[in-house]
Amino acid sequence: MDTLLNNSWNSNLYDDKISFVSKLGKDVVSLLDPQPNEKILDLGCGTGDLTNEIKRSGAIPLGIDYSNSMIEKARMKFPHIKFQVENGETFRLSEQFDAVFSNAALHWMTRPAKVVESVWLALKDGGRFIAEFGGKNNIQTIDKAVKDVVSTFRTNVSKTNQWYYPSIGEYSYLLEKQGFLVVYAIHFDRPTQLEDGENGLKHWLDMFAGSYFAPLSNFEKSQAYSIIEEKLRPELFKNGCWFADYVRIRIKAVKE
């Protein structure tokens, strides 16, 4: 989980209450199909759970993330795997890889052409790039509620998205312009159950939307959370659980 907005993520909250990110990412590892002794870069590795899945296949992974706390936690959990702090948009590594893998990270990198260039340079000729990330209209319902509510407390709150959610066409264009051949792409709805029942939305906001609430006092933030929950409950709370209105892009491209 790489973000260029905040490199001081709460890695404990991520593992304890946001573990669905890595669980759902196992399907993306299947698309990657890592082979023994392949060198694979995990871009935006978070606390390393999927890097470890790649390692279990017999491949040789390197996990990178912009967050110091995520990398520290990954090293603690998986000391047999190499992890390092890197900027996902501009990283340059001394070795090239058979594949670059990324799950739930690219939408935090708001200069996507820079990311695509960095991935291209990291790959060997014929190497593959496999990724899943937020696509067009991802969390549209949550995002609107957060912005509407926060703006009632602070009228100067930015309405600008802190994420990059492209269409397949937009992202394929960037890849093809760089020289990639896009061999697989899908854009799909994936309503995602959040963890910890009634508290699920609060954990999600704490983890991913903190910058929107930064101008608020703790009391105002608590009030805002309550109002957001009230607005979203009819649509996103079902059978005792919160669901995020996720829309994802999954893509595979080859460096020709």
pLDDT of 251 strictly over 80: yes
pLDDT band, residue 4 (cuts 50/70/90): very low
Per-residue pLDDT reduced to its tens digit, 168-179:
999 999 999 999
pLDDT of 7 strictly over 70: no
Give every CB contact of residue 61 below 8 A, 6+ residues apart in sequence.
34, 39, 40, 41, 42, 51, 54, 55, 81, 82
Mean pLDDT of 81-86: 98
11-138+162-192+245-255: what fold? Answer: Rossmann fold (3.40.50)
> What is the C-alpha to C-alpha distance for residues 127 and 146, in angstroms, rounded to an integer?
40
User: What whole-number percentage of the chain has pLDDT above 90?
Assistant: 81
pLDDT band, residue 1 (cuts 50/70/90): very low
Mean pLDDT of 5-11: 50
Tell the residue number behind the tokens 């509407």, with chain if given: 148
Average pLDDT, the chain: 90
Whether pTM exceeds 0.75: yes
Q: Where are the alpha helices (DSSP H) in 25-91?
A: 26-32, 49-56, 68-77
> What is the C-alpha to C-alpha distance for residues 179 and 175, in angstroms, rounded to an integer?
6
pLDDT of 5 strictly over 60: no
Q: Name the residue with higher pLDDT: 17 or 192.
A: 192
Q: How far is CA 194 from the centre of its chain?
A: 15
